[in-house]
Structure 1
Amino acid sequence: MPATQRQPGLAPSLLLLTAIAFAIVYGIVVAGLPTELVLITLGAAATLFSLLHGGTWEGVMDIMGAKVKTALSALLVLYSIGIIIGSWMISGTIPYFIYHGLELIDPRYLYVMAFLGTAIVSTFTGTSWGSAGTLGVAIMGIAAAMDINLAITAGAVLSGAYFGDKLSPLSDTTIMASMVVGEDLYRHIRNLMYTSLPAALVAAVVYLMLGLNMELGAGMPAAIAASANTLDGLYRLNPLLLLPVAIVLYGSIRKKPTLVVLFLASACAALLAVVVQGASLEAVAQAAVSGFNVSLLTSFNPGLDVSTLPAALASLLNRGGLYSMHGAVLFALCAFFFASALEASGILKVVLDRSLAYVRSARGTILASLAASCTIILATGNSYVTFFLTRELFAEQYQKRRLHPLVLSRSMEDGGMIPEPLAPWTVSAIYMAGTLGVATLDYAPWALFNYLGIVFSILLAMIGPWTGWYGVRRLAATESAPCEPAASTREAPRPTQ
């Protein structure tokens, strides 16, 4: 805060925070107003509050500039995903996945397979974004071709992607959470199992039951076979089309620069479109920039009449491109303005600091840290900031209540990482909605793992006094919490998703 800015009182801070929460719920969920308009309006209100307490407009812009600088790589990745989807469509890479998915996957098991498949990819690559942007996009295409609920499918993709990301030793957020509290990475991951495995098991069972109870139309098998046959006739499908996917997976596992990996994957897909499909360079460029359209199929299927293609199939294929991400980036800028104004107002710090005065037990400390982590991530949209702020707020309190730092690092991930894509103004939500083609508020109720983790964290804390604190590690009488990052995790990881 500027030296001239006064710290707001508790009452006005609570009043403004409550009003903002109500306006978000009513404006976006109930009234259905454009989210961008709601965020800009609330950002203006928070800015005015800051100015009335001695803040400056330049202060808000400085904070926003820092957020944009931090998220610049993510925004460029967002544009790169648009290019990848367009180039992978014209090359036949995504249609290749869809074709074999239609042939091999029973519609009743699609939800649970979406969850398990993305979980495996995320675990081996350490990236929820990469998992959703590759396998997730293909699964969404299969669901669309099968006429299966896209919101549930997107929720399952998101759940699996974040489950794998959370438990992967290659994940930047998992590394950072352990580093912030000064604990060994693998001990941190083992401690995450107490909440992550039950949450994943419940999610998998629910997805399985949803699929088994799905009502399949009598004509669905025939429609699925027809879609597969149509795709086979539109593209030359062969295993070479998996090369772009292999590039992304290899680059993710080896932690190569994300933008470079995505560019190489797009270039490979463009080459395959020309060599394998016989597409023209002009058509490939149009697919990458403006997005793929079925009319581009005539560049390598001269006799094709695109007007005869089923409308559902055309809608499935018509997607991607650099321009398709403009809306998501504009949304991100609106979200940054809102988060910056909220941070500049100082109301979150006032409310959180005052709330800690009422925390007098181990159970209350865990619950308060979960609530604080969730509040900070939804306000800032930055898991790194959330981890550091939560540690600053609660490290001493955890030490006082004889709670091990591993419990704090787990609370930071359960409350301050996996709920992020559930709020439509965060960068992760913007990315997932743009990549999967489903609005955040539509997939959020079905992203079961993303809120079951915090549910099981709350449950372990609530029943701790009666279970001997099962799953909640306590400090021994002679043990103290580490003050510095552990040697094995002291180096900060390169920011990726």
Structure 2
Amino acid sequence: MEETKVGSKKVRLPNFIEALIPIVVMMGLMLLGFVGKTGYTDAHMPLVVSICVACIIGGLCGHSFSDMLAGMLDRLNATMEAILILCTVGILVASFIMSGTIPAVIYYGLDLLTPRLFLPVGCIMCAIVGLACGSSWTATATIGIAFLGIGAGLGINPAITAGMIISGAYLGDKFSPLSDTTNLAAAVSGTGLFDHVTAMVSTTAPTFVIALILYTILGININTAGYDPQVAAGLQTALASKFNINPLLLIPIIVVIAACVMKLPGLVGIAISVFCGVLFAAIFQGMTNIGDIFKTLHYGITVETGNEIADKLLNRGGMDHQMWTINLILLAVAYGGALERCGCVDALFGGLKNKLHSVGQLVLATLLTSLFCDATMCDQFLGIGVPAPLYSDKYDEMGLARNMLSRTLEDCGTLWAVMFPWTGCGAYQMGVLGVHPFAYFPFAFVNLLNPIYAAITAFLGRNVFWADGAYTNIFGKTTMHKPAGAPEEAHEVAMKNLERLRAEGKAPKVGK
């Protein structure tokens, strides 16, 4: 058993059984809640118990409690900005509702979209907002909520609408240089940010096209017999009865996009957008009492229109509304930090690398490890950050570019984290959209298909980025491009291995 020293104490990696115990406890308690009908289905208490179990395993392996606590605090510190953004997103949603911005988007959207056009057009619009904002969370919490209302008015299943929203928002998030996961994936892989974004085009763009085709087919085949124009008309009437609706109310959304295009820090951009929402609430909705404004931003808005759909859509937002999700994220990140510090991840996956002998196997292993970390550590940041150091030298050994690693981390680590209701992403989107992840994920075609497409093309030797800048496209042709950024020593190792593999006929030559 491998041993190291922490201070004056010797510590070791847990064995395979020990490493599995905290994960089995977590998954067992979650399944007990969902399947056993205990009356408790949240992830919070299972996470608390699992953190305690992980600390016990760490103690058996020689870690002190202070060392385990330090591991948890390190991870929490790394995610505090995201948690602060989560607080402000709740305020942003409240400000956009009380200003009439979200009601206006719903109102005008019901005039512009039909059941057949709604899904593909909505996906594109969510992607644009996600790209400009650099945040899937902001996209779903603003335009996403609006599209839920439009979809309801058009008679479309909320699970399909939510899946479409998730697809578009996460696509935009992946491609945005402002996104935290995009920057994280590039950083932990040791490659350039725009090298990473370029690499993602090879897998995410095709799946986006496939998704749009599927959404178009769904739209064409939607049973419009359930579409009652009076539902849309009633929703519009309800919105107009409580809000002064006019096109100027769309300006706050433009402010959000402009702030991100100007590359303002996320918190600054959201703060400006909130101010704009409050200003518009005062000008157009007559909300000038400071106490009412603060209460709305803190606790969310309460609207009674007499229309069930409108009331369900509008009674949300506020900083306080986000606390359930924030509590879950704090516990999830602490749990992941405990697992990482006691060595559970290394014990489970450290030996796998020696059994990987092809690009397809390596990509699949990376995808599955990211998925495992998403599902068991409850955090997409760990789904990206944990596998990177495990496999980076293996990518060098196979002569691959580091942006091949970063792309693969995001293909699953970012996109599939939202499918689990006990992860920070899944819990947040479930809270914002009001649809369970197990219901919407089959319709989130970009998220669902992207890692599958990445794995299949890798096994076929396609969509591969090599260390010298060569790229093997989907048709199997290899052309030369600018090499992706990588640590100097790692790049030298990867180049020597690539030359050897080409000489052995195990890697394609440029022009072939």
TM-score (norm 1): 0.84
- Superposition pairs for residues 112-261 of structure 1, below 5 Å? 112-217=120-225, 220-261=228-269
* 2:88 maps to 1:80: yes
Change (3 A) 1:355 1:218: closer
Bigger relative contact order (CA 8 A; separation at least 6): 1
Q: Is 1:483 equivalent to 2:491 in the alignment?
A: no
Alpha-carbon distance in 2 for matches of 1:386, 1:316: 32
The residue that corresponds to 2:348 in the other structure is 351
Q: 1:178 to 1:332 in 2, by over 3 A?
A: closer
Name the SS of the counterpart of 1:237 in structure 2: coil
Q: Secondary structure at the match of 1:294?
A: coil
Which residue of 267, 277, 293 maps to 1:269? 277
Q: Report the 3-state secondary structure (helix = DSSP H, G, I; strand = E; otherwise coil) of the residue aligned with 1:74.
A: helix
1:8 alignment counterpart: 14
Structure 2 counterpart of 1:331, one-letter code:
L
- Distance in 2, matches of 1:399 and 1:37, equals 41
Match of 1:5, SS state, is strand
User: Structure 2 matches for 1:343-382, cutoff 5 A?
Assistant: 343-380=340-377
Q: How does 1:277-292 map to 2 (within 5 A)?
A: 277-281=285-289, 282-292=291-301
Superposed displacement of residue 353, structure 1 = 0.6
Q: Judge conservation of contact 1:182–1:484 (CA < 8 Å) in 2.
A: no
What is the Cα deviation at residue 185 of structure 1? 4.2
Q: Secondary structure at the match of 2:12?
A: coil
Q: Secondary structure at the match of 1:470?
A: coil
Q: Which residue of 2 aligns with 1:454?
A: 451
Q: Which runs of 5+ in 1 are unaligned?
A: 296-305, 487-497
Cα distance in 1 for residues equivalent to 2:135 and 2:253:
14
Q: What does residue 405 of structure 1 align with?
A: 402
Alpha-carbon distance between aligned partners in 2 of 1:443 and 1:218, rounded to the nearest angstrom:
20
Is 1:472 matched up with 2:464? Answer: yes
Q: For residue 33 of structure 1, what is the aligned residue in structure 2? A: 41
> CA-to-partner distance for each residue in 1:217-251, whole Å, 9 max, x for gaps?
45611221122133223322122212322221111
Change (3 A) 1:138 1:90: same
| 2:78 aligned residue | 70
1:15-45 alpha-carbon deviations (Å, 9 max, x no partner):
6545644554554467573222322233333
Opposite residue 473 of structure 1, the aligned amino acid is: F
- SS of residue paired to 1:357: helix
Q: State the TM-score, normalized to the length of structure 2.
A: 0.82
Report the CA distance between 1:454 and its aligned residue.
1.0
Counterparts of 1:343 and 1:11, CA distance in 2: 16
Q: Distance in 1 between matches of 2:81 and 2:401?
A: 34
Give the deviation of 1:152 after TM superposition.
Answer: 2.2
Structure 1 residue 98 displacement after superposition = 0.7
Corresponding position of 1:94: 102
How many angstroms apart in 2 are the aligned matches of 1:76 and 1:169?
Answer: 20
Q: Does 1:294 align with 2:281?
A: no
Report the secondary structure of 2:11's partner residue: coil
**Residues in 1 aligned to 2:489 and 2:103: alpha-carbon distance in whole angstroms:** 46
Equivalent in 52, 63, 87 of residue 60 of structure 2? 52
> CA 1:396 to 1:33, structure 2 compared with 1: closer, same or farther past 3 Å?
same
Assess if the C-alpha contact under 8 Å between 1:155 and 1:445 holds in 2.
yes
Deviation string 1:362-398 (CA, Å, 9 cap, x unpaired) is: 3322222222233334455565655554342223222
TM-aligned CA deviation for residue 157 of structure 1? 1.1
Identity of counterpart residues, as a percentage? 29
- CA drift of 1:99 comes to 0.4
For the residue of structure 2 that corresponds to 1:279, the secondary structure is coil
**What is aligned with 2:504?**
none
Equivalent residues of 1:28, 1:35 under 8 A apart: no
What residue identity is the alignment partner of 1:91? S
The CA RMSD measured in Å over matched residues stands at 3.1
